[in-house]
A and B are shown apart, each in its own frame.
Chain A
Amino acid sequence: MEEDEFFGEKTFQHFCAEFIKHSQQISDGWEWRTSKDCSEGYMCKTQFQMKPGTLVSHPGTSAHVQTCLPVEEALELPPDDFEVTETTAGIEVVKYEYHVLYSCSYQVPVLYFRASFLDGRPLALKDIWEGIHECYKSQLRQEPWDTITQQEHPVLGQPFFVLHPCKTNEFMTPVLENSRKINRSVNYITSWLSVVGPVVGLNLPLSYASITSQDESVP
């Protein structure tokens, strides 16, 4: 196997940088963060989703609103003096955070995520699970516990849900090998995230596909 098979932390950071460059071009909201005391870094994005809910809570103006709020034209926030009541119909705003970290043990990127209501209440896995696309539910056998686990974020030390990376090599390898055959480089992060992201509600805009794969320059 060639040396560039090895997906090390430097390679991870390189592809993340390329990914974020494109994110900035299309205002997709991804950022790079480094931990203060170590050289680890990761990519993160916050996104808001509307969920039908039984409790209509005061939305407030979240201090966490990122520059690129995703398009939600149906975003009709009740006026400020709206009372907190329990109703049978309502819309709740859920804040999703997605973090992409490098796993030294698996030598692949890993997707960490968590969700909370605007008042800070975290969503349980059960609630997140309900929001997952139908097609994945059957794949994950209605029991996400083996594939999605709760773990401590390596840098923040807070509980996050994690999409287990044990099979990452399995689905990435054919894509990478195929690209090598046709002499094109692949942005591992973009390719990987396009596969795993939708499982947990993170859909990449199609324009990322233009940076996934580029013709290698002839040496």
Chain B
Amino acid sequence: MAEESESTLQLPPSTAAEGEGPTEVSPETATPEPPSSAAVSPGTEEPAGDTKKKIDVLLKAVGDTPIMKTKKWAVERTRTIQGLIDFIKKFLKLVASEQLFIYVNQSFAPSPDQEVGTLYECFGSDGKLVLHYCKSQAWG
């Protein structure tokens, strides 16, 4: 698996229940090792073998959405779409009134509770999952 170590960053684990984004991002220069069980969200069972491996996610911007400097992230399988959205919103410093949508296949928005691991199994290729994100005003 080809990994550009300097651009593959760890997505910090959820501090609590799903949906809460991380508060701080610390870049790592070394190739990230699979985290210990401490990185697994509390309350989940200890996953066996492969399920502990993180997913390589490639984030691509759509439309006028700002492009993230770091596009490639290692994400836990159990991270939800909503968790990822919260993270990108914080990363891009979007204001509360701006919404962010994530798409697979560049056009389908998975529901917020969908897990990255499941999406990788359905839409991943070449060892990674490509997700497109788009900033928009959808309501209000």
Tell me whether A171 and B140 are in contact (CB under 8 A): no
Within A129-150, the residues touching B (CB, 8 Å) are: 133-136, 138-141, 146-147
Tell me whether B134 and A174 are in contact (CB under 8 A): yes
- Which one, B104, B105, B118, B137, contacts A171 given CB within 8 A? B137
Tell me whether B111 and A186 are in contact (CB under 8 A): no
Q: Mark A197-219, 1 if CB is under 8 A from B, else 0.
A: 11100011010111011000000
Give the CA-CA distance A92 to B102 in the complex, in Å.
33
- Which one, B96, B107, B118, contacts A212 given CB within 8 A? B107
Q: How many A-B residue pairs have CB under 8 A?
A: 110
Q: Mark A177-207, 1 if CB is under 8 A from B, else 0.
A: 1110010101100110011111100011010
Tell me whether B82 and A135 are in contact (CB under 8 A): yes
- Which one, B109, B113, B139, contacts A164 given CB within 8 A? B139
Tell me whether B110 and A206 are in contact (CB under 8 A): yes
The 4 closest A-B pairs by CB, nearest first: A174-B63, A209-B108, A171-B136, A203-B111
Please give the number of chain B residues whose Cβ is less than 8 angstroms from any Cβ of chain A in the complex. Answer: 34
Nearest CB of chain A from residue B90's CB, rounded to whole Å: 14
User: Within 8 Å of chain B (Cβ to Cβ): is A170?
Assistant: yes
**Majority DSSP secondary structure for residues of B touching A:** loop
Tell me whether B109 and A139 are in contact (CB under 8 A): no
Tell me whether A133 and B112 are in contact (CB under 8 A): yes
Report B's interface with A, CB cutoff 8 A.
Answer: 19, 62-65, 82, 85-86, 96, 99, 101, 103-114, 118-119, 122-123, 132, 134, 136-140
Once A178-B132, A213-B108 are accepted as A-B contacts, the answer to whether A135 and B85 lie under 8 Å apart by CB is: yes
Across-interface contacts of B136 in A (CB, < 8 A): 167, 170-171, 174
Across-interface contacts of A163 in B (CB, < 8 A): 139
Once A206-B119, A209-B123, A213-B105 are accepted as A-B contacts, the answer to whether A167 and B138 lie under 8 Å apart by CB is: yes
27 contacts between A and B (CB under 8 A): A133-B112, A136-B112, A139-B99, A146-B140, A170-B138, A171-B136, A173-B63, A174-B62, A175-B106, A178-B62, A178-B107, A178-B132, A179-B106, A187-B107, A196-B138, A197-B111, A198-B109, A198-B112, A203-B113, A204-B108, A204-B111, A206-B104, A208-B108, A209-B104, A212-B108, A213-B105, A213-B108
